[in-house]
Amino acid sequence: MKHISIMVFSPFGNTLKVGKYIQKALTESNQHCEIINLTGKSWNQISSFDYSMIEKNDLIVIGTPVYAWKIIEPIKIFIENLPSNENYRIAFFTTYGLITGYTLFQGVNLLEKKGYKVLSCLKVAARHSMIFNEEEDPYNYRPNQQDIEIIQIFSELITKTLNSFPNRTLSLEKLDYHSWKVKYLYKFLIKRFGMALLPKIYFNSKKCIQCGKCIEACPIQIIKLDPYPKKFGKCIKCYNCMWTCPQKAVYSRTFKLFEFFHRILGKYYHEIPETKIYQ
């Protein structure tokens, strides 16, 4: 029996959902598998994560959503703070609703610099967490049954690889799969200004009823009542607070423009296949 931990940060729930599918498949194959969910932890809790919890594991599975075509920052911090160890084996996955960007490439590159062996990667199409209305989102019902079947195959592959080829390392070349158009857009725009381009969040105290739902929805615990909601710390721009506010007291001045850009991008670019294993 192998001991496996699945590390996720999942503001919208998609990454956690995929993590649970992986956990189910691994548990059914008689592996000891637990999920460690970093969602809802503060920046300090993430930065001071107790790595002794996972140091004896045979495999760590790391899951991240795509934010500004990159790894979400809490997972990046988790990877960067991992103690260097050539004995660690990693599987890495991402969930996305339009373009995966360089999330897989970035994650594997960071892990290899730490001396880790990355056995396999997976990208999973999922409902977009930010830009589309429910009835218009082309990924609204993702992951679907076909995606789940690929997730199960991924789970079986990483177990077989761990048992038979534990020293295999996934080539970064396999993760450099985008067209030249996407590469140039990433190189000259997203890589430099990705998070800065995401719309900022504001709070309207006149509409606010101090219900605290935005506080509960914040996956990084930076919103406090003072006496109305305010951000105390770095925002990851997941927009959970905006979606959950019943009074529309949480808003963005440029969100419509951001949404329009992604609608245009979505018409001209789709990743094929949408859900795929990289081995």
Going by C-beta distance under 8 Å and a sequence separation of 6 or more, which residues neighbour residue 267? none
| Overall size of the chain counted in residues | 279
Averaged over successive runs of 10 residues, the pLDDT of the chain (279 residues) comes to 94 96 95 96 96 92 95 96 86 94 96 93 90 66 95 95 88 92 84 83 96 96 95 94 95 85 77 94
Residue 37, strand partner residues: 8
Cα separation, 233 vs 175, whole angstroms: 33
CA 108 to chain centre: 14
Q: For the segment 48-64, what is each residue's pLDDT rounded down to a tens digit? A: 999 999 988 999 999 99
Chain centroid offset of residue 42 CA = 17
The topology (CATH level 3) of 200-253 is Alpha-Beta Plaits (3.30.70)
Alpha-carbon distance 242 to 250, whole Å?
5
CATH architecture of the domain formed by 3-178+272-278: 3-Layer(aba) Sandwich (3.40)
* C-alpha count within 13 angstroms, C-beta hemisphere, residue 88: 23
**Beta-bridge partner residues of 230:** 224
* Extents of the domains making up the chain: 3-178+272-278, 200-253
pLDDT, position 188: 85
> 240 Cβ partners below 8 Å, 6+ apart?
11, 12, 214, 217, 218, 219
3-state SS class at 117:
strand
Q: What is the pTM of this model?
A: 0.94
